[in-house]
């Protein structure tokens, strides 16, 4: 597959995945299309060697796995992890309100978005709704308005002379978007808008009552290649759907003779403490069902290797002093291996060496990212997942500028380079050759 084709598939996935619910639904359809069997947690499982399966939890987390037909369960698993959520603005349960002639929606900040980038954008809504139809049936539906219906106007600089120097954003006061004129007799409230959108998206569905929703604001600008030679990709939610897409592509192509597992968690951006987050029981409970016998499962963990995939910070050309002077990260120059002495990342010398060997086999270059010693370091689901399982692991990611902006930037080569390294990992035995005994 060419890099151009790969990036087009990434763009399609980004467009299809405005929320974690949509991302998991898209992955579900992809795995079904490629012969994976859909398991449910409340069913009795009968697993077979050489077969591939996937499970979803609460529509926002997913685990796919293959039981290799030439490997024993104690031989370990090749594990890739990513997450389905991105920072943003979530609609409050009772969001309606008016202010000086405008209808507005109350929003709550989800995760740690770069809030200044959400102003003056053409925004829409997408997410999950729970409702009862006129035939009496209860439905959980995914909706996406797609067209621009919201905006958060900036306050003109004439009223805020410090806007370019010392302006702070009040999350309660400054962020509610406007979506209609309050005195317009034709304008609809949020509930009516949801009813109409459901009927547009789902033929024959007539909503009787709306019970609840998980709705998020989204930018309507589509992904794009930019730069004089198309060197860059600009898009929303690159963190972390770029990694999720790369992991899913690698999993689909994985050698059926080998044990492999792909885990997409939710709620990474706000701490992972949930039933669908990495601090929950999802991955451990699935491994307990794949390998019911405790001793065999522990032996399998000791032979396993985990790659946690989440975007990495690239060096900003206008702020080079924010990076460690000996660890600059560039776009299109290879996958970033993320290192932190305090285990904010799970990389160590052995796991790094193994991944570098994998990348050598794949013809992929690597870089090493370390935060400045006087700045706090972010984290990923890598440390908590490897701690739950007791497996050797490392953190890697595609270099990215504008992390947590409404529109992030990566290199046009970076997604495919990441994918190639993950695909090589799932077809390789290099970690077994280098694991300490």
Judged by DSSP in three states, 186 sits in: coil
C-beta separation of 324 from 372 below 8 A: yes
pLDDT tens-digit readout, 318-367: 999 999 899 999 999 999 999 999 999 999 999 999 999 999 999 999 99
pLDDT of residue 436: 56
Do residues 40 and 99 both lie within one domain?
no
- Inside any domain, residue 304: yes
313 pairs with which residues across the strands? 400
pLDDT of residue 187: 66
Do residues 283 and 429 both lie within one domain?
yes
- Main-chain dihedrals φ then ψ at residue 220, nearest 5 degrees: -90, -10
**Residue 186 in this model has a pLDDT that exceeds 70:** no
- What percent of the chain has pLDDT above 70? 98
C-beta separation of 291 from 77 below 8 A: no
- Inside any domain, residue 226: no
- What percent of the chain has pLDDT above 90? 89
**Chain center to CA of 214:** 17
Judged by DSSP in three states, 198 sits in: helix
- Inside any domain, residue 405: yes
Calculate mean pLDDT across residues 415-427.
98
Do residues 77 and 100 both lie within one domain?
no
Do residues 293 and 392 both lie within one domain?
yes
pLDDT tens-digit readout, 277-319: 999 999 999 999 999 999 999 999 999 999 999 999 999 999 9
pLDDT of residue 92: 96
Residue 140, token pair as written in the block: 């959980």
C-beta separation of 102 from 178 below 8 A: yes
Q: Give the end of a domain, one of 175, 194, 219.
A: 219
Do residues 366 and 403 both lie within one domain?
yes
**Residue 36 in this model has a pLDDT that exceeds 80:** yes
| pLDDT band with cut points at 50, 70 and 90 for residue 182 | confident
Residue 437, token pair as written in the block: 């005994």
Ramachandran region, residue 127 (left: φ > 0; alpha: ψ -120 to 50; beta: rest) = left
- Mean pLDDT taken over the chain: 95
Do residues 141 and 80 both lie within one domain?
no
| pLDDT band with cut points at 50, 70 and 90 for residue 376 | confident
Pairing of strands 61-66, 52-57: antiparallel
- Inside any domain, residue 245: yes
From 30-44, 93-107, 214-228, 325-339, the region with the lowest mean pLDDT: 93-107
Do residues 45 and 119 both lie within one domain?
no
The DSSP annotation for 163-184 comes to TTTT----TTTT-PPEEEETT-
Local structure of residue 327 (DSSP, 8 states): -
Do residues 249 and 208 both lie within one domain?
no
- Inside any domain, residue 349: yes
Q: By residue range, what is the domain housing residue 169?
A: 88-219
Residue 317 sits in a domain whose CATH number is 3.40.630.10
CB atoms within 10 A of CB 166: 8
- Inside any domain, residue 230: no
Residue 123 sits in a domain whose CATH number is 2.30.250.10
- Inside any domain, residue 225: no
pLDDT of residue 276: 97
For residues 20 and 98, the model is more confident at 20
By CB neighbour count within 10 A (0-12 exposed, 13-18 middle, 19+ buried), where does 302 fall?
A: middle
The end-to-end CA distance of the chain, in Å, is 38
Calculate mean pLDDT across residues 65-72.
93
Residue 27, token pair as written in the block: 């992955």
Q: Give the end of a domain, one of 185, 219, 253.
A: 219
**Residue 246 in this model has a pLDDT that exceeds 70:** yes
Number of domains in the chain: 2
Calculate mean pLDDT across residues 13-42.
98
Distances in Å between the Cα of 306 and the Cα atoms of 33, 311, 354, 355 are: 26, 16, 11, 10
- Inside any domain, residue 227: no
Residue 218, token pair as written in the block: 């989204």
């Amino acid at each position: 597959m060419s890099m151009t084709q790969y990036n087009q598939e990434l763009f399609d996935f980004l467009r299809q995945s405005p929320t974690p619910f949509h991302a998991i639904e898209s992955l579900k359809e992809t795995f079904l299309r490629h012969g994976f069997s859909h398991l449910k947690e409340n069913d009795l499982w009968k697993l077979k060697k050489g077969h591939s399966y996937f499970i979803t939890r609460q529509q926002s987390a997913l685990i796919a796995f293959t039981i290799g037909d030439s490997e024993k369960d104690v031989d370990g698993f090749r594990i890739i992890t990513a997450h389905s959520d991105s920072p943003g603005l979530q609609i409050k349960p009772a969001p309606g309100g008016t202010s000086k002639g405008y209808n507005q929606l109350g929003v709550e900040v989800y995760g740690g978005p770069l809030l200044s980038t959400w102003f003056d954008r053409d925004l829409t809504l997408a997410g999950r709704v729970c409702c009862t139809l006129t035939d009496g049936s209860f439905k959980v539906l995914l909706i996406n308005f797609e067209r621009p219906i919201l905006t958060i106007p900036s306050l003109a600089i004439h009223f805020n002379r410090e806007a370019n120097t010392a302006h702070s954003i009040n999350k309660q006061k400054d962020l509610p978007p406007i979506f209609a004129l309050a005195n317009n007799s034709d304008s609809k409230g949020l509930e009516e808008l949801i009813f109409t959108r459901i009927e547009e998206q789902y033929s024959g569905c007539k909503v009787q009552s709306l019970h609840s929703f998980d709705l998020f604001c989204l930018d309507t600008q589509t992904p794009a290649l930019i730069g004089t030679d198309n060197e860059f990709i600009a898009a929303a939610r690159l963190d972390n759907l770029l990694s999720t897409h790369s992991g899913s592509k690698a999993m689909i192509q994985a050698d059926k003779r080998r044990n492999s597992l792909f885990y997409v968690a939710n709620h990474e951006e706000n701490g992972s403490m949930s039933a669908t987050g990495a601090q929950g029981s999802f991955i451990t409970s699935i491994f307990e069902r794949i390998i019911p016998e405790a001793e065999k499962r522990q032996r399998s963990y000791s032979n396993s290797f985990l790659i946690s995939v989440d975007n990495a910070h690239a060096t900003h050309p206008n702020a080079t002093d924010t990076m460690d002077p000996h660890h600059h990260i560039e776009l299109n120059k290879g996958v970033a291996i993320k290192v932190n002495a305090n285990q904010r990342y799970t990389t160590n010398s052995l796991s790094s060496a193994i991944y570098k060997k994998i990348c050598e086999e794949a013809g992929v270059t690597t870089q090493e990212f370390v935060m400045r010693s006087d700045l706090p370091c972010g984290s990923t689901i890598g440390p908590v997942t490897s701690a739950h399982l007791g497996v050797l692991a490392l953190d890697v990611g595609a270099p990215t500028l504008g992390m947590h902006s409404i529109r992030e930037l990566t290199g046009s080569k970076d997604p495919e380079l990441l994918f190639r390294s993950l695909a090589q990992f799932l077809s390789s035995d290099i970690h077994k050759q280098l694991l300490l005994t």
